[in-house]
Amino acid sequence: METYKSNYIQKNYVEGKVIIITGASSGFGKLTAKRAAEMGGKIVLAARSEEKLKETVAEIKAAGGEASYIVTDVAKKDDVFAMAKFAVDTYGRIDVLVNNAGTMPLAFFSEHEQALDKWEQCIDISIKGTIFGISAVYDQMIKQGQGQVINVSSIYANFPVAGAGVYQVAKMGVQYLAESLRSECQGKIKVTTIKPTGFMKTNLSSSVVDQMAMMPAVAGPLEILSNWVEEAPLRPDFHDINSMTYNDPDPQVLADNIIYAINQPWGVSIGDLTVRASGESFVI
């Protein structure tokens, strides 16, 4: 009987794939784009900031990678469909769509006057943007007979807490859209939901309306909570990735796990992937 090879990842499965990444001008999106390009992917970067997109594409090309960009507001249907057409016109196919764009407008309902516009934007980007993205790549992936959609949700989708209601609805919506697509398209389109913990070193935290709205989701040493709200220094072991008390995860960790989901043979689908810090204080 043939011996089973436990190390089934026998090669680089990112190489040659055409990968669209939304929200690719900064944060998780930019890091994922650069890592995928390092591994030989053909990357289409999509975001609203043309200046930042140009900079990232230039960095990728300077390092020997292949990338192009298209200015895209994922809350606008025409932009998203133009994004998919651009990928096909440029590279001939679409292998992977990473629905990464999003905002995190944490705020209490008592703060609706300050938060309402940002809440609306959050829903537009996360829910409408994900629907538009799936719809834009669907026909091409079905025609190819293979494809992968990766939706970036959040651990905030796990359980409702005060201060995060709208953000949680948005991220729960992302998760349910992913599961519905997976159920419909098994054997045709692979679907992955990525649920990251709080990564405070990204620009996502800049969209928080009230920093105190993070407090209901966490329970831990005052030192950690103070760091999130006031950016006070943490103990060295909280920054040590080899420590079980690691509490300040580098965004590259999340990007590398998105790459892990892509770097699979077509016959293997990573359905759900939650990425946390071992010593974090989130209770959701």
Which residues have a catalytic role annotated?
A: 167
261 vs 252: CA distance, rounded Å: 14
Residue (of 229, 151, 222, 141) closest to 185 by Cα position: 141
Q: Where are the alpha helices (DSSP H) in 145-234?
A: 165-185, 222-230
73 vs 91: CA distance, rounded Å: 21
198 vs 209: CA distance, rounded Å: 15
55 vs 82: CA distance, rounded Å: 21
In this structure, are residues 282 and 197 in contact, taking their beta carbons and an 8 Å threshold? yes
